Amino acid sequence: MEPNMIKITNLEKFYRTEEVETIALNKLSMEVKKGEFVAIMGPSGCGKSTLLNILGMLDDPDNGSYLFNDIEVAHFNERKRADLRKHNIGFVFQSFNLIDELTVFENVELPLIYTGVPTAERKKRVEAVLDKMQIMHRRNHYPQQLSGGQQQRVAISRAVVNNPKLILADEPTGNLDSSNGNEVMELLTDLNEQGTTIVMVTHSEHDARYSHRIIRLLDGQTVLENIMI
């Protein structure tokens, strides 16, 4: 049995305004094993994106425990979270989040700059991942010169160039047609088969079937888990 990469226990997150308090996560507990591919589903407003932000250490919970590789990170300060995040986690977003002023090569190179990788090593690693993602021929193009499917390939390249242990994907096929969407899901499946742990938020039952397990949320709580055969 693989050890846990993620273990969250009684996680709570509240959003408050002067008039109202919204409970985004309500004593949520779940585990993700190393090497798993987990899909998180549920209606809009059920806490999926809040959960992903906390798993990605972009936000911290109000209460509860979050163990990442057996390290308690629930109340790390921003600097500690950022340091752990940039060495361990890659993000793939629905809207690609590429920088329009940078070429494909430069977009993919960014995480390596943030982690202080030397220039020659950066070049080698970016070229290797662009080659693997079959987007090398577009290395000098800008995002707006690419199709949606190509942009998501670049975004996935950027997510994996640092060899992260975990990829968090938020509706990764949401802006793509079915053909490009299937290609992206095959890429994520290949990465998972090579050992990368993946947690994906999706509304798509079709995409969720690529995962090993579906966790369904409602009102910030786990209501159902499906093991995929």
DSSP state string for 177-209: -HHHHHHHHHHHHHHHHTT-EEEEE-S-HHHHT
Which phi and psi angles does 187 have, rounded to 5°?
-60, -45
Q: Are strands 197-201 and 21-33 parallel, antiparallel or unpaired?
A: unpaired
Residues of the chain with pLDDT under 50: none
| CB within 8 Å of 175: residues ≥ 6 apart | 94, 95, 96, 148, 152
pLDDT of residue 229: 55
Spatial contact of 172 and 154, defined as CB atoms under 8 Å apart: no
pLDDT in the model for residue 175: 85
Maximum CA pair distance of the chain? 55
Question: Contact, 215 vs 40, CB < 8 A?
Answer: yes
Per-residue confidence (pLDDT) for residue 200, from 0 to 100:
96
Closest-CA residue to 155 (of 169, 166, 140): 169
Crossing angle of helices 148-160/178-193, nearest 10°?
20
- Look at residue 21 and give its three-state secondary structure: strand
Alpha-carbon separation of residue 44 from 10, 50, 135, 168, 198 (angstroms): 21, 11, 33, 18, 21
Cβ–Cβ < 8 Å for 138, 104: yes
Q: How much is the pLDDT for 36? A: 96
Instruction: Give pLDDT, residue 219.
Output: 84
pLDDT of the residue at 22: 86
